[in-house]
Amino acid sequence: MCFNKMLKITTKKNVVAIGTFDGVHLGHQRIISRAVNLARNIKGTSVVLTFSNHPISVIDKNYCLKQISGQKEKIQLIEALHVDVLLNIPFTQKLSILSPEEFVKMLYDKLKPAAIVVGPNFSFGYKGSGTPKTLIEAGKVYGFKTEIPEVVSINNTFVSSTVIRKLIAEGNYSQVELFLGRNLSPKIKTVV
């Protein structure tokens, strides 16, 4: 589904978690769970906006990045976090060239967020020029708040998809499971 044609969500109390959420690791789980809890606190709707393909596959077609989770597993993992609405849309060339301001306006027009939850290294808009700080400032204009949960750190290492890919490449599957917060699926050992 194209973001432009995305179903409008009609409630006014949407709490939106945004990210690629590749692997749905402990850091992603913290972001999504925060959105779910915020939505419950305001008797609203929790929404996850994610992408069915990794943005790098559009931004740099020469860079081959395998995803940590397949789409079916990713959807199951996100649904298990009790999300009300999951929007798993393709990341397109059109999305990649939107300015941060255009992206936020589209997000606001389609989802009317009361709050947005993203990770501290979240970027959006053309060449990733939008940051969580951009969202905080935009929230002052559009009337939503932005939350950036603390990163999850295990043994002084920030949990991230990049680190997990490196651990998989090294064959350190016990550490991968620790960062994912679950047992590995059999297919994950082929991701590098």
- H/E stretch holding 40 reads helix 26-41
The CATH number given to whatever domain includes residue 90 is 3.40.50.620
In a domain, 2, yes or no: no
- Tens digits of residue pLDDT in 74-112: 999 999 999 999 999 998 889 889 999 999 999 999 999
Number of domains in the chain: 1
In a domain, 94, yes or no: yes
In a domain, 162, yes or no: no
pLDDT band at 189 (very low <50, low <70, confident <90, very high): low
- Where in the sequence is the domain holding 20, given as residue range(s)? 12-151
Average pLDDT over residues 170-189: 85
In a domain, 127, yes or no: yes
In a domain, 33, yes or no: yes
- Eight-state DSSP code of residue 60: -
pLDDT band at 57 (very low <50, low <70, confident <90, very high): low
pLDDT band at 186 (very low <50, low <70, confident <90, very high): low
d(C-alpha 119, C-alpha 141), whole Å? 21
pLDDT of residue 70: 87
